[in-house]
Structure 1
């Protein structure tokens, strides 16, 4: 995507920037939000191979607009500056430097992607900028001893891999497993979780592995390679574009394995619908928040509230895209941290309050799951539940689970 040269404008509330340009958004009434703006920054892949995730930034902007309409946080409006990094680590570095050094943001919020966050990890910690609730589940975001300013958000990728492997040991101990994964820390993290459980003789259950690069046009050849291995089980560790390709190709090639589809590539709206809903029947994933396509939540008060929010603040958003629930919950956690700050919005206090989150339960989380953080634990989500796709929706089954440890 080529940046459009539009004169730069500033306003209180959220702003969406593509590249270095700012696209004007409507200004909502600020109510009592007359205090100094709380300025947050983020990078999102509004373009590039992971652009399906761009909706997360948009739903978060909508949520902060709603908060500003309600009077802001302790009388202060939230200003979110959201820049496009194209899922490119060098671009992420450039944009984050701009946010920190030119925009002087108080904190980074939900910068997306393992490669992008890896590229800025040392920089933001050296600058002592709160690096909050990164939109990736790599285990390394929970390392407060070495990276005290970085906080995770997603369920740990390793925990997710452990849950799949534990399910197989219990329910299909003779499985012949083929694994496709993105060739970076994200893909390797889920794989590490699987291998953490499948040790000793059980390691032989994995008969074939294949990788892909985010710059690859398709993963069709990898799917055929995995199919030819004779595997009857497929662990699919991919982002939305490649997840849809893998679901479609596996089905069209006649391969019918037990198919595990990682959480970040399991949206009905952005993955399964493009792939073909019938081709995803029987897929298993993990979930830690409610799925808007699941009829059991049809009359759930939290889901009704979210749908009303979407209708007013993000009308173009797809209500079948799980990313729009995900981003809403992340924004709720951010607002909770800011509320706990009182009127001290210093970087030190923002970090302190993030570490003080206890038993926080955004109502769109699945029952039995809560968010907790401390000075020694920067991972708010550590549990999930297995779910199977029936051709229309994901259906939860089993108990709420954590990692092997």
Structure 2
């Protein structure tokens, strides 16, 4: 605060005191104070931010998510923004390191005065800021992780997930393996945190408590899974469910190939993006190793001809600064569109409270293959997933859609959300 500003405040206070003394015998009520706008909101802009790995072990593939969201926001701003406000999106690199995440998120909230945090990426990383964001009453929207931690409305009222949770994904992959390949030994390789824990929980919903023939875990701090892959091979695993990020999915397939072992691979959507995996494995061997690769998804599929995919390709071409178009591009633009939809529903003068009310209203549509599940009692986005398979380089839906209902895995009918208004809420 400047010295001149401080002097003005003192003079104003003295003047106000003099008026009070002079009018001591009067009882005129004071005018109500004007309500200040929430952090990050001006007449022309809404500022939001995110933490994401632009460097480090999770950067490949995932770094393109925030770039895709930025491209969508540029497109939206050129269309007039939301209620006349442009969205300013601040992206900060945390290197997929929880200590860095806490530092950059504190900067976003305390220095950049963001209105909300959007799509903070990673289970271990976002866990590090969960309490901080809720204690400071910052909307923590659409976390880029399938951990069930984000769906705790009573403990974390400001936090909402985006991904289908890992229990659902694990259950869907295991149910599909059981239905399509009865009698085969199903195993699991998983990250050593909630990601792996909850994928195991889901798989056991479908296969029973002893249904997984073997389980191996890994840490993202050690980029060598030779021991784990060797153990899975020795256990006679025929189908391996992967609770892995993209880099470790490729590492698992590549290590197995070096050992001359070619089982079937079933992956969470978090590590199943075909172009990203080919980028890791190389154009020469990647397409061969990924033929028949099975995954989950809940958004428009990269290999499909969905109207959303067509729109997002066009946005990427114009605003993506030469970025490749892949499943992570679709993911980033889908998240950005959902935020725009929530902001529009929050009203012409949005507050943090009206933004949360918009999300829990049950009126948001999103662009998934199933309806969103947000409500006052649920902070989960998608509670079901479809099965995708890679065939000759095309990754598209080919199998059934699964959900978890009342602790059981069930097949459900997909209900894709149609594109409206050129992907601009309120248009």
Counterpart selection for 1:92 from 77, 80, 101: 101
**d(CA) in 2 for partners of 1:221, 1:251:** 14
1:334 partnered with 2:344: no
Aligned to 2:420: none
Q: Structure 1 residues 348, 102: CA separation in 2 closer, same or farther (over 3 Å shift)?
A: same
Offset at residue 250 of structure 1 (A): 2.0
CA drift of 1:361 comes to 4.2
Unaligned runs of 5+ in 2: 1-40, 407-427
Query: Does structure 2 retain, via aligned residues, the 8 Å contact 1:34–1:77?
Result: no
Corresponding residue of 1:24: none
For 1:391 and 1:252, locate their aligned partners in 2 and report how far apart those are by CA, in whole Å. 22
Q: CA deviation at 1:323?
A: 0.4
Secondary structure of the residue aligned to 1:189 is helix
Q: Distance in 2 between matches of 1:210 and 1:355?
A: 38
Q: Please give the alpha-carbon distance, in whole angstroms, between the structure 1 residues aligned to 2:65 and 2:201.
A: 27
How big is each residue's C-alpha offset from its partner over 1:292-320, in whole Å with a ceiling of 9 and x where there is no partner? Answer: 3x2x41xx43322211101111032211x
Residue equivalent to 1:108: 117
4+ long deviations beyond 6 Å: none
Partner of 2:289: 279
Residue 66 of structure 1 is matched in structure 2 by 75
Distance 1:177 1:302, change over 3 A: closer
C-alpha deviations, 1:117-165, integer Å up to 9, x for none? Answer: 1111111111111000001111111111111110000011110001122
Moved more, 250-259 or 181-190: 250-259
SS class of match (1:133): strand
Counterpart contact for 2:301–2:397, Cα < 8 Å: no
Q: Compare 87-96 and 301-310 and name the one that shifted more.
A: 301-310
Tell me what 1:351 maps to: 356
1:138·1:189 contact (CA, 8 Å) conserved in 2?
yes
TM-score w.r.t. structure 2 length? 0.81
1:171 & 1:63 partners in 2: Cα distance? 38
Structure 2 distance, partners of 1:349, 1:215, is 40
**CA drift at 1:195:** 1.9
TM-score, with normalisation over the residues of structure 1? Answer: 0.85
**Residue number among 126, 134, 143 corresponding to 2:135 in the alignment:** 126
Matching residue within 259, 264, 277 for 2:265: 259
Distance (Å, rounded) in 2 between the aligned partners of 1:177 and 1:399 = 19
More off after superposition, 189-198 vs 69-78: 189-198
> 1:160, 1:403 within 8 Å by CA — same for their partners in 2?
no
Shift of residue 399, structure 1, vs aligned partner: 2.7
Work out which of the residue numbers 233, 241, 253 in structure 2 matches 1:227: 233
Bigger CA drift: 350-359 or 221-230?
350-359
Kindly name which structure, 1 or 2, has the bigger radius of gyration based on alpha carbons. 2
Distance (whole Å) between structure 1 residues aligned to residue 343 and residue 127 of structure 2: 25
Distance in 2 (alpha carbons) for counterparts of 1:223 and 1:249: 7
Q: Is the 8 A contact 1:124 1:131 kept in 2?
A: yes
- The equivalent residue for 2:165 is 156
Following superposition, the deviation at residue 170 of structure 1 comes to: 2.7
Deviations 1:35-78 (A, max 9, x none): 33111111010011110211111111111111111111101111
1:2-401 equivalences under 5 Å are 35-52=43-60, 53-200=62-209, 203=210, 205-275=211-281, 276-292=286-302, 294=303, 296-297=304-305, 300-319=306-325, 321-358=326-363, 360-362=365-367, 365-366=368-369, 369-401=370-402
Root mean square deviation of aligned Cα: 1.8
Conserved? CA contact 1:359–1:372, under 8 Å: no
